[in-house]
Amino acid sequence: MKYLMFVCTDAQPDTDKENEPDIHAWVAENDARGRRLQGSELAPAAAATTVRVRDGELLLCDGPFAETQEVIVGFDLLECADLDEAIEIARAHPMARAGRLELRPFAEPQR
Amino acid sequence: MTPAPGRRPAGAGAAASAGVTVSASTAASAGVTVSAGAAASAVEAAAADAYVRIVAALIRVTGDWALAEDCAQEALTLALQRWPADGVPANPGGWLMTVARNRAIDTLRRASVERRKLDELAVLTRTATHPAGHVDAVGEMADGMVGEVVDDRLRLIFTCCHPALAMEARVALTLRTICAVPTADIARAFLVSESTMTRRLTRAKTRIADAGIPYRVPSGRALTERLPGVLAVLYLLFTRGYTAGGEPAFAAEAIRLARLLGQLMPDRQEVSALLALFLLQHSRHDARRDADGDLLPLDQQDRSRWDHAAITEALGILATIRQDGPYALQARIAACHATAPSAAATDWQAIASCYDELARIQPTPVVELNRAVAHGYAHGPAAGLALLARTRTGGRLDGYPLAVAAEADLTARQGDHDRAAALFRQAAALARSEPERRALLHRADDLSHQG
């Protein structure tokens, strides 16, 4: 199954930048095992552009579409046998401790 | 999901409640070898063991929960029609498995499902001639996992109790799929309509498929992490059957499931501890209420009406447990009550030290409250009141009627009857059920009369 993993954090992260865990080991391991197909850190939410078309008119907003305490700071596309495997991968991600991760399966089960 | 006709093979009168009647004239013209009644009880006996095995095996192979339940129930229906005329087969469980498997193959063929599932179903055909217990082993080999034999029922339990499902969904799914409790009964216990419960169950099954919740027993660290969640579902199921107004049959189902889980995971002591706890709590079932149906406190129950066979079994289990977790400690506390010849002869010292240990590993407000009560009996009401005051700091037990009732009881035993009566009335005002409220007011009145 394919899962899109949203890497989320509070709008004002409460973790110490200096002590932020190193993500490279996590990426290297899951890339090597073929479980991470793609992924990236994202530019700050302030760089987001929200696009809508209403009554044929293009509406652009600067900033993310949802004003929440959390922002999506990155994503990873995972290929896993099932949810339990995805959870095991996610729990090892540094941001599981410093923020939160959302596992969203693709709509069509890829089994 | 097909709105399956509710049927509970495990319970009493399963065949009768199945909505299937065996026509006497059909049976007579066919030259009956067994009476309809005998066939019905044979179906019931076979179903109690076979139903969950069939459902679990078919889910594993097909991944289709509704199909598995429908086919298992169709097999039971056919048994009720055939067995009166043809006689009960030598291996009823195998017969039911074969019929259910054939139904599944027919349905899947019509839906032109992939070859792999049909091949795996064919494996169930061959094994169906063996006693039901062997089906899982051979089915496992079809998965290419020879050597690690996992019971399908265990897989089903862990899937229904997966932490990625909401707690209420876990309990409902467990009752429906593993215990085969009719949806209407589950709906009643959850205080929702049957159609709401049907939707909730359907949503839970859809979520299992969509979220990718595996049909598997976790291993290693994951098993250690997940087992407490499974036990919590069983515990909730039990308390739903045990508390005032709950579905009484759920407590029996919880005991049956704990037994099954204990058989399937014999090396897990917390499972047997939970079973011991259930047995001890349930042993008081017939003595817990007075003639009006009100709950009776322990000291007013007729101890001869406790189920002493269940108590003996629980004590035997507790004797084998070497390291006490929360369930074992609760069971040991229950065992102190269960073995006391009278309320006055209760070993409160032992109970108080069990609560000390329980409060150490599970420091919840309710455990602390019970600990204060136990200390009040073991070391005098003043000790109990002191502990209670400490527990209530920060308002952790505000509005909790049992905390006020405990203070009332301890105060009464200190001799201040007026204040105790007022506290019991205060507790009654907070009570969450009518019988509980009546019992508390009764205590208040008694104290007022004593002055």
Q: List the CATH number of the domain containing A8.
A: 3.30.70.1060
In a shared domain, residues B359 and B391:
yes
- Within-domain flag for B417: yes
pLDDT tens for each residue of B228-280: 989 998 998 888 766 655 566 788 888 988 998 998 888 899 999 999 999 99
| B213 neighbourhood in chain A, CB within 8 Å | 82-84
Is B109 a domain residue?
Answer: no
Mean pLDDT, rounded, of chain B: 82
Confidence of residue B35 (pLDDT cuts 50, 70, 90): low
Structure token pair of residue B189: 């216990």
Give the domain-ending residue among B397, B423, B439.
Answer: B397
Check if B164 contacts A (Cβ < 8 Å).
Answer: yes
pLDDT of residue B27: 37
Band (B178; pLDDT cuts 50, 70, 90): confident
Which helix (H) or strand (E) segment is A26 a member of? Answer: helix A24-32
> Cα–Cα distance between B288 and B296 in angstroms, integer?
5
Task: Name which residue leads in pLDDT, B386 or A61.
Answer: B386
Rounded CA-CA distance B182/B246 in Å is 15
Q: How much is the pLDDT for A12?
A: 62
Most confident of B114-128, B244-258, B296-310: B296-310
Half-sphere exposure of B224 (CA within 13 A, CB side): 2
Structure tokens at B8: 């509970």
> What is the average per-residue pLDDT within A25-39?
93
pTM > 0.90: no
Please give the Cα distance from B270 to B264 (Å, whole number). Answer: 13
Is the pLDDT at A49 greater than 60? The verdict is: yes
Q: Are A68 and A45 in contact (CB under 8 A)?
A: no
- Best interface-test mutation with B: which of A84, A89, A91, A102 has the largest number of B CBs within 10 A? A84
Judged by CB atoms closer than 8 Å, whether chains meet at B212 and A83 is answered as yes
SS3 A61: strand
Q: Give the chain B residue nearest A80 (alpha carbons).
A: B212
pLDDT at B93 over 90: no
The stretch B382-405 carries a mean pLDDT of: 91
Residue B176 has what DSSP assignment? I
B214–chain A Cβ distance below 8 A for any pair: yes
Where is pLDDT greater, at B187 or A110?
B187
Chain A: closest CA distance from residue B229 (Å): 15
Both tokens assigned to B419: 């204040």
Q: Any idea which of A97-101, B141-145, B193-197 has the lowest mean pLDDT?
A: B141-145
Q: Please give the Cα distance from B282 to B391 (Å, whole number).
A: 29
Q: Cβ–Cβ contacts within 10 Å for residue B57, how many?
A: 31
End-to-end CA distance of chain B: 63
| Assembly ipTM | 0.80
Residue A22 lies in a domain: yes
Could you tell me how many CB contacts below 8 A there are between chain A and chain B? 32
**Closest chain A residue to B219 measured between Cα atoms?**
A84
Instruction: Kindly state whether A1 is in contact with chain B, defined as any CB-CB distance less than 8 angstroms.
Output: yes
Indicate the number of domains in chain A. 1
Is B359 a domain residue?
A: yes
- A88 → chain B, closest CA residue: B222
Residue B384 CB partners (closer than 8 Å, separation 6+)? B372, B373, B374, B375, B376, B377, B406, B410
Handedness of CA B207, B212, B218, B224 (dihedral sign): negative
**How far away is chain B from the Cα of A99, in angstroms, using its nearest Cα?**
19
Range name among A44-58, B39-53, B120-134, B403-417 with the lowest pLDDT average: B120-134
Check residues B58 and A17 and name the one with the higher pLDDT.
B58
pLDDT at residue B424 in the model: 95
Within a domain: residue A46? yes
Residues of B in contact with A84 (CB under 8 A): 213-214, 216, 218, 222
Neighbours of B224 (CB within 10 A): 11
The lowest-confidence range among A21-25, B126-130, B195-199, B263-267 is B126-130
Taking residues B192-210, what's their average pLDDT?
92
Q: Is the pLDDT of residue B28 over 50?
A: no
Domain shared by B368 and B403, yes or no? no
Closest-CA distance of chain A to residue B263, Å: 25
Average pLDDT score over residue span B417-434? 92
pLDDT value at residue B279: 96
Domain that holds residue B370: 347-397
pLDDT band at residue B4, thresholds of 50, 70 and 90?
Answer: very low
pLDDT of B194 reads: 94
Q: How many CB atoms lie within 10 A of CB A40?
A: 10
Sign of the Cα pseudo-torsion (B109, B114, B120, B122, in order): positive
- Give residue B57's identity as a one-letter amino acid code: A
Long-range residue pairs from B384-391, CB within 8 A, at least 24 positions apart, any chain: B384/B410, B385/B410, B385/B411, B385/B414, B391/B365
Q: What is the mean pLDDT of residues A34-50?
A: 89
A86 touches chain B (CB under 8 A): yes
Subunit contact A86:B212, Cβ cutoff 8 A: yes
Q: Which of B261, B264, B255, B273 is nearest to B322 (CA)?
A: B273
B10/B218: higher pLDDT: B218
Residues B408 and B418 in one domain: yes
B184 touches chain A (CB under 8 A): no
Residue B373 lies in a domain: yes
Q: Which of B93-107, B125-139, B158-172, B220-234 comes out lowest in average pLDDT?
A: B125-139
| A109 and B CB contact within 8 Å | yes
For residue B285, what is the enclosing H or E element? none
How many domains does one find in chain B? 2
Interface check A83 vs B, CB under 8 A: yes
B336: closest CA among B345, B325, B327?
Answer: B345
> What pLDDT does B24 receive?
36
Phi-psi region of B180 (alpha: psi -120 to 50; beta: other; left: phi over 0): left
Element containing residue B123 per DSSP (H, E): helix B115-127
Domain that holds residue A84: 2-105
Confidence at residue B150, expressed as pLDDT on a 0 to 100 scale: 66
Examine the domain organization and report whether B406 and B440 are in the same domain.
yes
The pLDDT tens digits for B306-322 are: 999 999 999 999 999 99
Calculate ∠ Cα B237-B240-B242, nearest 5°: 110
Q: Exposed (0-12), middle (13-18) or buried (19+): which is B344, by Cβ within 10 Å?
A: exposed
Tell me which chain A residue has its CA closest to the CA of residue B209: A109
Looking at the complex, report in whole angstroms how far the Cα of residue A80 sits from the nearest Cα belonging to chain B. 9
pLDDT tens-digit series, residues B391-400:
988 888 888 8
Kindly state whether residue B180 falls inside one of the protein's structural domains.
no
Supply the pLDDT for residue B239.
83
Spatial contact of B273 and B328, defined as CB atoms under 8 Å apart: yes
Query: How many whole angstroms separate alpha carbon B308 and alpha carbon B279?
Result: 10
Domain-located, residue B35: no
Which has the minimum average pLDDT: A85-99, B122-136, B186-200? B122-136
